[in-house]
A and B are shown apart, each in its own frame.
Chain A
Amino acid sequence: MSETVVEADGLGAAYGGPPALSGVSFSLKPGQTLCVLGPNGGGKTTLFRVLAGDLEAQTGTARVDGRPAHLPQAERPRLDFPVSAFDVALMGSLAHGRWWLPPRGHERAAARRALKRVGLEASEHDRFGSLSGGQRQRVLLARALVQDARVLLLDEPLAGVDPASAERITALFAELRAEGRAVLVSTHDVDSARGFDRVLCLNRRQVAFGAPAETLGSDVLEATYGAEIVMLDDGRRAVTVQHHAPGEFHPPAAGRAAPGAPPDHR
């Protein structure tokens, strides 16, 4: 059996109350990509936080090979922080274990290379908060590249991203896969999930895991999204929609998506 770089077995997690996630079991090999699908509050971010070591598993086990590079949702990093795109990319070098020493020349060079790879070499001096949403995501990806992790956890990296950035980021997924890295991407976009090696459907518990072609049937999608899924083209396409009356929506608490909150329109 070949090595696995990410493995979860009966994984469950909570924020001090009822389980936010339970019964998650899957594994990934080097060079595999995984799309994590689910509604808001379905447990995607919770899963990534457990895999990143930021949240302790309540039940089961999770194992990640080395320190993963974690790209939280775009709104998590502080936009008012006085750092440039280059400063942010260079933060990836802190993962190399020499955090108490100033960055070395080759680490600075790696940060510049990473910015070039995401197409932002001309913006390295721009303040992070002044960049567009798509550019910010690419800078955070550059930070993950500098970190040189074998496992990347990307939490909705394409949410609110302009088409040019989305294209660049999607192309980067293929490059990272070719380099033998495992890439885990959470999204609401059911159609884009079909381009991944594996798909994991969550709705506060694991609904399904497997190859997209075999897994993404209407029954699985309905179990994942409930009444929020609409199948199109005889089941070949699916979109998630909101079903809530005005005033029904309760904004998520800080640091956590509210269970049952409606997904974005796609």
Chain B
Amino acid sequence: MRSFCIGKRLSRTILNYAPPLAAAPPSPLELVDLAFTRSALAELVLLAVAGGLLSGWIVLRRLAFFTHAAGTATFPGLVVAEAAGASPRLAALAVAGGYAGAVGHRPRRTGEGGDTTVALLLVVALAAGVVLAGDVFSSGAGVDSLLFGTLIGVEGGDLVVSSVVAALAVAATVLLGPVWAAAGFDPEAAQAAGVPVRRADLCLLALIAATVVAALPAVGALLVTSLLVVPAAAARLLCDRLSPLLAGAVAFALVQGVAGLYLALWLDVPPGPAVAAVGGLVFAAVACVHRPGRAA
């Protein structure tokens, strides 16, 4: 009986999208003709640069879990800021920055303990956010947008923040990229050579935290990894050199952003989840055509 109900609900969901799918797709030019999609498109392009570049370092430095946790950790902060009338961006920056600082300063060689701590933080942050939103501040209506973003509603301030993090990501990749690579490849030798591994890693964590905050209006606290992990995960399957991997990650981020926004416009679905879903599909497609052994 239960499987019948799920099947019925699933078919109803598919039928909901049938009319838009049956209709002629909108012109891609609508993405630039309409003011709100133009802002969303600009936001996605800027986040593709920042997120694409950083996703390369996140994947190579095995920071995907950290990035997901940094996004989720901002959730209770955003709820409190919304209820208190404070700047959600500053609240998110304080939480994500504090989290990055704590991770950066934790004792080295914590082994699996580090992952366990991050997993605990994820659970606590989500639970605290839901409790605060539902029972303390009664602001449940905004929870969806905090968790999954409101890309169509991005404003000038959001674009300025994304521009800044995009510029920082480019500059940091040029200046600190060799150090991040050396520290990821062989941390002990880099440390012995006098490379400031710890400070460079702190810069990377701080930049990831800032980019997470910049991506919150677009994809929300739960979907930041769609822009900050998925692009490089796909590029990693095809590229066995650093520079092509970073360029490929930016390209994949652009493709999933633009295609996701277009699909959201066509199917009338939330753009943030659409961008994330396209990212997942792109990764799956690349993984299917990728022949093992062609790249690292």
Contacts and interface: CB of A to CB of B under 8 A. Distances in A.
Q: Do A and B come from one complex?
A: yes
30 contacts: A53-B191, A54-B188, A54-B191, A54-B192, A67-B194, A69-B192, A70-B188, A72-B189, A76-B189, A78-B185, A81-B181, A83-B241, A84-B241, A87-B181, A87-B242, A88-B185, A91-B190, A92-B193, A94-B195, A100-B176, A100-B179, A102-B174, A127-B240, A127-B296, A128-B185, A129-B296, A143-B189, A147-B193, A153-B192, A254-B109
B64 to A, nearest CB: 14
Contacts, number: 101
B164 interface: no
Interface residues of B, number: 30
B200 to A, nearest CB: 8
A49 interface: yes
B296 A68 contact: no
B239 A82 contact: yes
A77 B109 CA distance: 16
Contacts of A80: 296
B245 A70 contact: no
B186 A255 contact: no
B60 A71 contact: no
A60 interface: no
What 5 pairs between A and B have smallest CB-CB spacing? Answer: A52-B192, A95-B193, A70-B192, A77-B186, A91-B182
B262 to A, nearest CB: 31
B279 to A, nearest CB: 21
A167 to B, nearest CB: 24
Interface of B is mostly: helix
- Chain A CB within 10 Å, residue with most, of B188, B191, B194, B295: B188
A95 B181 CA distance: 14
Interface in A82-131: 82-84, 87-88, 90-92, 94-95, 97, 99-103, 127-129
Contacts of A147: 193
Given A94-B178, A99-B195, A72 B240 contact: no
B193 A78 contact: no
Interface string B107-119: 0010100000000
A204 to B, nearest CB: 20
Interface in B190-239: 190-196, 236, 239
A97 B188 contact: no
B179 A99 contact: yes
Interface in A40-69: 49, 52-54, 67-69
Contact of A82 (B174, B189, B241): B241
A78 B185 CA distance: 5
B184 interface: yes
A68 B194 CA distance: 9
Interface in A134-184: 140, 143, 147, 153
Nearest to B235: A82
A53 B188 CA distance: 9
Given A69-B193, A82-B239, A95-B193, 5 more contacts: A91-B186, A95-B194, A100-B175, A102-B174, A140-B186
Contact of B196 (A67, A68, A82, A99): A99
A114 B194 CA distance: 20
A100 B196 CA distance: 10
A243 B131 CA distance: 60
A82 B296 contact: yes
Contact of A77 (B111, B189, B195, B236): B189
A81 B185 contact: yes
A52 B191 contact: yes
Interface in B238-296: 239-242, 245, 295-296
B193 A70 contact: yes
A255 B109 contact: yes
B195 A95 contact: yes
Interface in A169-212: none
A128 B192 CA distance: 20
Contacts of A90: 178
Given A69-B192, A99-B178, A103-B178, A76 B296 contact: no
A249 B236 CA distance: 37
Contacts of A77: 185-186, 189
- Chain A CB within 10 Å, residue with most, of B111, B176, B178, B186: B186
B181 A254 contact: no
Contacts of A153: 192
